[in-house]
Structure formats: structure tokens, C-alpha cells
Structure 1
Amino acid sequence: MINREFNIYIDMAIEARDLVRGASDQEISGVKEDIKQLKNIKITTITILDQNGAEKLGRPIGTYVTIESPPLKINDPYVRDEIVEAMEESMHTLIGEKLKPQDTVLLVGLGNWRATADALGPRFIEYSPITRHYHSYAPDALVEGMRPTCGIAPGVLGITGLETFDVIKGIVEKVQPALLVAVDALAAQDVKRIGTSIQMCNTGIQPGSGVGNTRHAITEQELGVPVIAIGCPTIVNAAIIANEAVKKFCYNIGAPFNETTSFDAIKEILSPFGGSLGVTPKEIDEIIENTTRIISMGVARSLFPGISEEQLLLYAT
């Protein structure tokens, strides 16, 4: 879905839903929602059932799971364990019966490792268990029950000169995995979501969409292999923040707020950046570190059931 005022793609299904519902908060035809509140986290599962729901939310038919927890961005071990468990359960929901114990899984870390706010994907690969080569060259070094996994952080076009999709497609054709798990940083519509939400879906991902640099979609339709996409918001467009600040200021002093006037003023100020100026917090290094470790373990636990975290960490790159 596009935020039409600023022509910004909305990465998170839960934010697209909120935008469609608006103040009325009415149910959306073709969209099913389930909310589960645990001790430290809230899990919202949005299922787009048909084409009507897909058109309303501006994203493909499928299942979107959002795990929300403000303490996610800090290193709280109790919250961490709850999120990892929720991710493991959600992965099983999204994968269904598509994966057998011996199947190969390709892990893809999308993003630019030179930009901290965009390094979530590459760091995910760094912390994930990689085992495919052991199956070929050192099977005795594997814990019993470990499937073959391989990983790639293909970088971005500006660094490699290669389209990310082309790199991934070439690997898929050669390796022929049964499942692809792609992790990428997302752009949020609310600063409160930075480092506090994880989105998981079975519909693939369009890299760069949240920052206006859309690349070729990484989906099952394009690659011929099921794709699970996982992301965490690390950036918010400056136009979104500015508009909310203007609105809050007007309400606080009792002045009328004019949406059109606000949009026009913000667009004029941000015109040197083409409307693509993004904002990320100064503690983004810590947010990336904590969320990456949580996401990588959540995925690993789902792919290697019965294997302890201590053993899984031994196979991280």
C-alpha cells in the first residue's frame, strides 16, 4: 500500500490495515485478523483472504504476523525468549507442511552492510547457523537432526553492480532450496515501531520499497520456491514525522490543522531530498544488534527443532 500524501510504500501490513480502517476502525472485507496478547508481547496475525482484501491493503494474498514488544530493542532476556518462541511458532504457521527435515533452506540477508540502519539482513546471516557445507564435507561435525542451510548477503546494487534479484535467482537455480527466508530492514509509519516490531509473512518481499528504491520482488511466483519474509522497522520517513509534529502542535494550541497545507509545506522543505529523507535513532547500532540476534535465533529454532541454542550458535558464521 502507498501513503498517497507522500507517495511512500507502507512496509508493514498492520500499518496498512490501520490506514485503511481510519478513525472508523471497521472490519475490512476480505481480511481476517487475530490478536494474541502474551505477558511481554502482542501478536497480530492478518490474513488477506481474497483479491478484495489484497486491493484494500495493497499487498498480496497471504498471512502477515506482527510481533510487537517495546522491550524488543533492549537486551531483556525474558522478553527475548518470549519473542523467539513466538517467532518459532509463527514460522511453523507460515511454512505449513512445505518443509521436510532433509530439505535445504536458503537464508538471504537483504540490505546494505555499510549503512547501520540497513544492515539487519547482512547481520542476520552472520548470526544464523550455516550447515550445508558440513553435510558435504564434514557430516560427522553436525548435531544429529540438523538440516542443510546456506546463506547469502547479496548487498545492494550500488555496491555490487548486481541486481539483488538476479543474484538470488542464480543461487536458487543452482542450490534448489525447498524454502527461502529473506530478512530486511523495514520503513515504519510511526517512530514507536522502530526496533519494537517484527513482521513475518509468506508472500515474499520487495527490497527498497520503504525508502523509494524499489527493486525486483522476491516472491515464490518469481523464484519458484516458497519465500518467508521477515523484517523489523529501523527508519521512518522524515515527512511522516514532520506531519505528525505539525498536527500535534496545532492540537496543543487549539489551532485548526489543515492536512493539505501541512503536506505542501513539508514537501517544499524536503524537496532537495526528493521526499526520501529517512530518520533513524542514534541507538540504531544497539537496536540492530539485539533484533538481529533475536530474529536469527527465532528462525534457527524453527528450522532446527530439538537443537539447543548453545549448539545452534556453534554453527553461526
Structure 2
Amino acid sequence: MREYYITKNDSGQRLNKFLEKAVPRLSGGMMHKYLRLKRIKLNGKRTEAACRLAEGDRVQLYINDEYFEQVREEEAFRRIKTPRLTVVYEDENILLADKAPGMVVHADEKGDSDTLIAHIQAYLYQSGAWNPDDAASFAPALCNRIDRNTGGIVIAAKTAEALRILNDKIKEHELKKKYLCVVLGRPSPPKGRIENFLRRDEKRKQVTLHDRPVPGAKTAKTLYRTLASTKELSLVECVLLTGRTHQIRAHMASIGCPLLGDGKYGRGDRNRACGETGQLLYSYELTFAFESDAGALQYLDGRTFRVRRIDFVQKYFPDFRF
């Protein structure tokens, strides 16, 4: 018999999700069979796969030892000796990281394992805030993601409960994000709203914009305002009212002001002249604006967090302060 004691990190998730990670060799079919046979119990009693776990619960498994025998490849975070991580904010439930442009958040199709989540896990592991051997199921996880060449705030949940709450709040648009970008030219008008329909082309990894609904397209809405301008460039703040792929990049290009450095929607000649190989776009501000109870994260309601420095702002608009 194996017994798992549910810690705060593991609480709030369904039993089946816990078992998928704690006992990866146990198939879904066998799990349901053993639940029916009462060979998997919760606090000594019969339970269901959908049961939500609470801190202090005990999960007992009366199953063969073969399900616990496993040889795992070394996790990516264990190979990181010095985490590259800028922490904007951290408490017992969440961590806000300032992702540098050029870093991927998760392993991509190229198999890059030098990821933001790996560095976050390494940081928490080395600081003693997270011990994967004590929490058999839950590992710190990202709640949102941004493109490789976009920088800015990414949210990591340190507990299963925090991940569940934040996923719900993001889905309900109760987290507000602001972006800064450097664009070519001057937007006209300097402040406005862009609204149309955006369709993603999976093969080309690019999006197209349409004035009318077309098959596969979704509504895309962006608010923008110009903060500063030079003869050739403008610093623009954007607020996403919808969160579509490449939305800011495509929308600013649609009004004749593509992002500097953007290889998909921008101007290659201007990018090369300035030596920019990635879009100058940063998710610089995050506000928790809960419209309903957030449970264990209610204390975050109304709080706003910003990054301290953006290199491309200092480079092209050194006198600007935000």
C-alpha cells in the first residue's frame, strides 16, 4: 500500500489529475477499475475520480508495486545551476516573472528545454520553496504565455489551487495587461481602437485580418495610445480587449505602423537598418481586476505590477518615464 499526504501545493485539484502525475504508469482505465474495487481510497473511504482534494487529505493506493517503478529522465530544472530569472513579485501562491525577449516559455517544436518554466522551477527548487519529492503531483506551472521574442510579465502558479483560480480568471478576462511597443511612423489618430476579425494560418504561423466575419476568424479588439514620438518612431501603449495570436503585431501593421523588428508583419529594411531581429513588444503591466470571488487569491484584487526596465524603451526613448 502507498499513501500520499495532500499538501497545500496539491490541494484544489481532482483526484484523477493528481494520480496522473503521482502514478504515471497507472492508466486511466485501471484507475477507474481500482476506484470501483475500493483499491484507491480517500481518507480510508471510497471516492470518485472527480473528487477535489483538500490539504490534509490522505490518498491510499492498494495496487501492485509495478505501478510505482519508474525511471524518469532528469527534469530540465535540475540541469540549471544558476537560474536566469527576474522576479517582479512573489508570494506563497504565485510568482510573476519578467521574461526576457528570446526565451521560450515552454519547450517548443525545436525541443528547446532552456525555458522560462524550467528556470522558475530551478529557482524555487534551489531556494527551498518547492521540493518535487514532497509534492508528488503538482509542479509550479505557467498560467499564461507570450511569444519567444516578446518580453514581459508571465504568471506562474506555485500551487494547484492558484493555477485553477488564475486559469478561471484569465478565461473570464479578470486580469488586465498593458503592452509597450515601438512602431514605425506615427499612429493616426494618436489614440484609438482597432476592431476586426483575425484568422490564424497554422501552416504559415501567421494571421490575417478581415473587416467581415470569415470561417475560422475571431473578433480582435485592441486599444492603443501614443506615448512619445520621434521623427521616425513612436512608443505606443496597447491594451488587449481580446487575446488573439499576434494581435498587437497585426493590428499596428494594419494602420501603417508595424512594430520595429517584426519579421512577419513589419519592414525588413527598417529592421535591418536598426539591427532589430525581434519585435519590440513588452507586456509591462498586469492588474488583477477580479469581478467575482477569487478564494485564496482574493488579496491580489486591485493590485498592479510593472516591470522596472525595458531595454528598447531606454534605447529609443531614453527620456521617457512610465
Pairwise TM-score range, normalised by the shorter structure: under 0.3
TM-score, with structure 2 as normaliser: 0.22
Q: Which has the higher strand share?
A: 2
Q: Which has the higher helix share?
A: 1
Q: Which has the higher contact order (CA 8 A, sep 6+)?
A: 1
User: Which of the two has higher C-alpha Rg?
Assistant: 2
TM-score, with structure 1 as normaliser: 0.23
